[in-house]
Amino acid sequence: MRVRIHRGAREIGGSCIELAHDGARLLLDLGLPLDGDPGDQTCYPDIDGLAGGGDLLALVLSHGHRDHTGLSHLAGPNLPVALGAATLAILKAAATFVPDCYVPTNTVPLADRQPLRLGPFTVTPYLVDHSAYDAYALLIEAGGQRLFYSGDVRGHGRKGALFERLLRDPPRNIDTLLMEGSSLGRLDPDRTFPSEDEIEGRLVELLTKTPGMALVAASAQNTDRVVSLYRAAKRTGRTLILDLYAAAVLAATGNPRIPQSNWSGVAVFVPHHQRVQIKRTGRFDLLTAHGHTTASTPRISRRSPRAPHCCSDTRCCPTSTGPTASQAHGRSGRSGTATCISRAGRRSRTT
Ligand SMILES: [Zn+2]
């Protein structure tokens, strides 16, 4: 098996790895550089056969962050795209709201530790803890050789047990390890990143001493963080207000343990720019699906001018029509979302 790393070895983002064996090829991720533009051809990797139908058998996506999927629109409809079922559902949900969000149509589902045969390659996904939902590390076997690609992985999220499971029962006899390392060297050796439980505790502290409505900048696709926000809101007697994009993404996870728009203690606010997107795309069904409990603009407006911010970034105001805060991963701007946490749990119905 031969390996060609197109991008990602000397930079964070734009991950793309090409494998070749016995006259066939496989692509692992087709990411956009963090500072790249999907329409900028100068950042396109030099890969033959992306249209499909040739010796390039498939594109395998480890997870849905744009630095791993942001150039997947280059794949033609004849090239199968293997990805997690929930990742595909989230991409579909995001496409209504996020510009340049490509949704593959010729797909093959990945499932945790279920080997997938693609020509001479056998791909075994390992579900991992990451801020993206439904993220996988990938074991690739071909010609008696074994390559393990970690994708993006961490151990301090709410799914940290997956990382521990990987340590307890890793794939063995690996010939080549391609390891994500975007955080290597970013902390002193004696320090660690806070766990989501610790972040939840910090949120509780902030919400307790914050009068009025609190505004939080967070990515809706970071489901662990949304869980932390929901739990912190519940512990402080507040209502968690999501925008419609967040509500749609959370529903797309298909996970009944992740906060949903119809849960007690959750309300949905539809800012103007999302109303415009709904009208443009005709996705009025989203308003029906997430219209159980809505936060009206007058109510938001009455509370927001005098409410201190949880964060110092005022761009997170949900009444803004522009991009909101986003994460380092997949930072399309609009893929981030703003979340309000309203005190006293008052709600209003859509009128
Ligand atoms: Zn990622």
Dump pLDDT digits (tens) for 68-98.
Answer: 999 999 999 999 999 999 999 999 999 999 9
CA of 344 to the centre of ligand 1 (A): 35
CA of 134 to the centre of ligand 1 (A): 11
Cα→Cα distances 68→7, 37, 330, Å: 10, 13, 8
* Amino acid of residue 110: L
**Domain match, 171 and 203 both:** no
CA of 153 to the centre of ligand 1 (A): 8
Considering the domain boundaries, does residue 21 fall inside one? yes
**Domain match, 248 and 295 both:** yes
**Pick from 148, 178, 208: which residue ends a domain?**
178
How sure is the predictor about 169, in pLDDT bands with cuts at 50, 70 and 90? very high
**Domain match, 242 and 140 both:** no
How do beta strands 16-21 and 2-7 pair?
antiparallel
CA of 140 to the centre of ligand 1 (A): 19
| Contact (Cβ atoms closer than 8 angstroms) between residue 64 and residue 87 | yes
Considering the domain boundaries, does residue 318 fall inside one? yes
Considering the domain boundaries, does residue 348 fall inside one? no
**Domain match, 220 and 286 both:** yes
Considering the domain boundaries, does residue 187 fall inside one? no
pLDDT for the residue numbered 351: 24
Considering the domain boundaries, does residue 20 fall inside one? yes
CA of 301 to the centre of ligand 1 (A): 34
Considering the domain boundaries, does residue 188 fall inside one? no
**Domain match, 59 and 32 both:** yes
pLDDT exceeds cutoff 50 at 242: yes
**Domain match, 63 and 211 both:** no
| Contact (Cβ atoms closer than 8 angstroms) between residue 196 and residue 158 | yes
pLDDT exceeds cutoff 50 at 316: no
Considering the domain boundaries, does residue 183 fall inside one? no
CA of 133 to the centre of ligand 1 (A): 9
**Domain match, 240 and 166 both:** no
Domain limits for position 273: 196-343
Place of tokens 């550089």: 33
Q: What is the count of structural domains for the chain?
A: 2
What single-letter DSSP state applies at residue 319? T
* Number of neighbouring beta carbons within 10 Å of residue 168: 7
Q: What is the CATH number of the domain that holds 160?
A: 3.60.15.10
pTM: 0.85
Distance (Å, whole) CA 64 – CA 76: 18
Q: What share of the chain is helix, strand, coil (3-state, %, to 5)?
A: 25, 25, 50
Distance (Å, whole) CA 94 – CA 341: 22
Tens of pLDDT, residue by residue over 278-301, are 999 999 999 999 987 777 777 666
Tens of pLDDT, residue by residue over 41-60, are 999 999 999 999 899 999 99
How sure is the predictor about 62, in pLDDT bands with cuts at 50, 70 and 90? very high
